[in-house]
Amino acid sequence: MKDAFHNYLIAGNRSAVNAAKTGTKVAAHYTLKVPAHGKQVISLRLLDGASFDAIRPKPFGEAYDSIFSLREKETDTFFNALTPPAASEDERRVIRQAIAGMLWSKQYYFFDLDEWLREHGWVPGRPSSRHPLRNANWFHMINDDVISMPDKWEYPWYAAWDLAFHTIALNFADPCFAKDQLLLMMKEVYLHPNGQIPAYEWNFGDVNPPVHAFAALYTYQTDKLLHGKGDYEFLQAVFQKLLLNFSWWANRKDPQGRNLFEGGFLGLDNIGVFDRSAALPTGGFLEQADGTSWMALFCQNMLTIALELAQEDPAYDELAMKFVEHFFWIAGAMDRVGENADELWDEEDGFFYDVLHLPDGSAQRLKVRSMVGLLPLCAVALIPGEQAERFKRLEERIAFFRKRRPDLIANIFPPDQPGYAGRRLLSICNEYKLRRILARMLDEDRFFSKYGVRALSRWHRDHPYEFDLHGEKYIVQYMPAESQNGMFGGNSNWRGPIWVPVNALIIRALLTYYGYYGDSFKIECPTGSGHMMNLFEVATEISRRLAGIFLRDASGKRPVFGDVDKFQNDAHWRDYIYFYEYFHGDNGEGLGASHQTGWTGLAARFVQALHMDPQRTLQSGLRLVPKQEEAKSKTTGM
C-alpha cells in the first residue's frame, strides 16, 4: 500500500511492509544528522546485480561527480532547446518543471481484465444472476505497458481523455512517446471490439470526450512544421482505428438519430444540473451541447486527417467527403431554421445549452452558463486554400450539399466563403454567434478570470440556476474553489474553477479563427474595456493569464501557492512549482491534487505561446510559429 512506508517509519508499525522484502514498491531508508543551515548529500546509482558485483568495492568511483555534472549539462542543453531564447528565467523555470513533471509521470501499468474478473468470480461470456461486475464486458483487455499517468501518487492509472492532452505537452519533449501513447489506446488489447476507447480503470466503459483525433492531428502537424514532413505512417495507422471509435460514437450516442449527441459524464463531473452518468430523475433523455460539439470537432479532425492522407492516396477522398457531410448534419441540428424549443442554441441568450427531453414529449433548455456552452466555438477547422483547389470533388460536394439542404447550412459559417489565403472555415459558429459567445466568455464578471477561462460563469454566484422537480430543487451555483455539491461523492470540482485542457482547446480555436480572419476580426477584450484585439491577441491574452498562475507576479508571489507562506517566501520552496489538478476561479490558487502535472503540463505551452509571431502564425494557418529571432529554436506552439 502506498502509505506503508509512512506507517513503518512514523507509526512504528513493523508489519506494514513485507518481512520477506518482496513486492512492487521499495524505499531506501537513511538516518542522517544535518547540521544547522547545513546539508547532507546522498549519492544514488541504479545498477543490475552483475554490474554491482563488478564495482562493489567502490560503487560510485572517482568519476561519479563528473558523470553527474555531465548529466546536468545534458539536461540543461535539452531544456534550452525547448525554450524560447527570449524567455525570462522564471518562464524557463515553469517550462522546465512542467515538462520534467510530464516525463516523471510515466509508469508501468499492468491489468489483465480476464484474470481480474476470474478472481472476482465472474466468468466472461456466461450468464450470471449476480449484479454485473464493473468492467465485466472488457475481458479482452491486457494492459502491460509504460503509460503517462495523471499523477503517479494519487491517480496512478491512465485516463483516456487526460492522456490525449498529455501528448500535447509530451510532444514538446518526447514526440515518439506521444505517438506511442496515442496508438496504445487504440491497440486491440485496449480498444473495445465495438470501437470504444477505455476511459479509466474504475469504469473503462464510461464515456470520455473523443479528443484522440485532435491529439493525433496535433502531433502530426507539429512533426510537419518542424521537419517539413509529417509521419504519414503514424497518421494512417491512427486514422484506421479512429474510424472504429467514430462509428461507436455515431451508433451508440445518438439514439434518436437526430445528430444530437448524449454521452453522459464526458469528463465534466458536476458542472450540470444532474449527474449525467445516471438515469435522469425526470425520465427522458438529455441532448448535450458539449457531446454534440465534441462530435462536430471529431468530424473536422477526421476530415483534416483524410485530406492529408489523400495527398498520397486518393482512396481517402471519399472519407473526406463523408466527414464534411457528417459535420454539416451535426452543426445544422444544433440550430435549425426558425425558433425551436428543442434546439441547443438559445437566440435570446446568445449561448448554447443542453436540452432536456421529458417523457411527455416536451423539451426545455437547461440554462446553465458553463463550459458546455463554450465548447461549440471549439468545433472549428481550416481547409487550406491549396487543398480547396486540389480537391475539387470536395468543393463540389459542399456546393451540392448546400443546394440540396440549405436549411442545414443556414445558421453555421458559410463553408464555401474564402478567407485569408483562400482558406475555408468549417465552424458551428457563424460570425454572429462567435461574437455573442466571445462577448460572454471575455467578460470578467462571467467567464474571464485573471487566470484563464472559468468552467462556470461567475454570474451564477449571485444568480444560481434552479430546476424544480416535484418540490425538490436542483441548484447550480458558481463556487470559485472546492465544490460544495454532493454529486460524484462530493469531491467533483467543476463549479467554477479553471481547468487547463479546455482552456487549451479555446486557445487552439481562437488561433484557427485567426488563421481564417487574420486581423480583420476584432473584439473587445476584456468585454467592456474598450480595448479591441484580433483573435491572435485574445489567444495570447488567455495564455498570459494561464501562465500567470505559475509565474511570479509584480509582488513576487506565485498565485498557484495561494496564502501558503512557506511556498511563497521560503528560498528552499518558492521556485519549486506545483502543477495542480485545477485552479481557483478568482485568485488562481492551486486546487485538487497538488502534484498532478498530467494535463496541467500544458502550462509549458502557455508560456511558450507568449513568444510567438502573429504574422508568421497567420501565414502558417495551423500553428503558432516562433518570432523570427527564435525561429532556430525547436519550440512549436499550440
Q: Is 576's pLDDT higher than 90?
A: yes
Ordered alpha helix ranges (H), 454-534: 500-517
Half-sphere exposure of 606 toward its Cβ, with a 13 Å CA cutoff? 29
pLDDT at 623 over 70: no
Query: According to the model, what pLDDT value does residue 484 have?
Result: 81
Which amino acid does the sequence have at 358? Answer: L
What is the rounded average pLDDT of the residues 372-381? Answer: 97
Mean pLDDT of 29-53: 85
* CA–CA separation, 543 and 515 (whole Å): 17
Residue 633 clears pLDDT 60, i.e. is over it: no
Query: Does 560 have pLDDT greater than 90?
Result: yes
Residues near 83 by beta carbon (within 8 Å), at least 6 away in sequence:
91, 92, 95, 96, 608, 633, 635
How do residues 605-617 score in pLDDT, each as one tens digit?
A: 999 999 988 988 8
Partners of 449 in beta bridges = 452
Three-class SS state of 128: coil
Query: Tens of pLDDT along 283-314?
Result: 999 999 999 999 999 999 999 999 999 999 99
Residue 466 DSSP SS3: strand
The whole-angstrom separation of Cα 480 and Cα 257 is 38
Cell reading at 608:
511558450
Q: Is the pTM of this model over 0.75?
A: yes
Distant-in-sequence, close-in-space partners of 492: CB < 8 Å, separation ≥ 6: 269, 270, 483, 485
Percent of the chain scoring above 90 in pLDDT: 74
Per-residue model confidence (pLDDT) at position 621:
65
- Work out the average pLDDT over 424-438: 98
Q: How many CB atoms lie within 10 A of CB 404?
A: 10
| Residues 402-421: tens digit of each pLDDT | 999 999 999 999 999 999 99
Confidence at 601, pLDDT banded by 50, 70, 90: very high
Q: Rounded to an integer, what distance in angstroms lies between the CA atom of residue 302 and that of residue 25? A: 42
Alpha-carbon Rg for the chain in angstroms = 26
Q: Could you report the per-residue pLDDT of 53-72, keeping only the tens digit for each?
A: 666 667 777 788 888 999 99
**pLDDT tens-digit profile of 447-500?**
999 999 999 999 999 999 999 998 899 999 999 998 887 777 666 678 889 999
Contact 365, 386 (CB under 8 A): no
Q: What is the structure's pLDDT at 123?
A: 81
Task: Name residue 534's beta-bridge partners.
Answer: 522
CA distance 114 to 135: 10
pLDDT exceeds 50 at position 432: yes
Query: Whole-angstrom Cα distance, residue 619 to residue 614?
Result: 9
Average pLDDT across the chain, whole number: 91
3-state SS class at 260: coil
Q: What is the pLDDT of residue 637?
A: 46
What number of other Cβ atoms are within 10 A of residue 523's Cβ? 19
pLDDT at 638 over 50: no
pLDDT tier for residue 628 given thresholds of 50, 70 and 90 = low
- Half-sphere exposure of residue 156: CA atoms within 13 angstroms, side-chain side: 11
Q: Which three cell numbers stand for residue 97?
A: 518543471
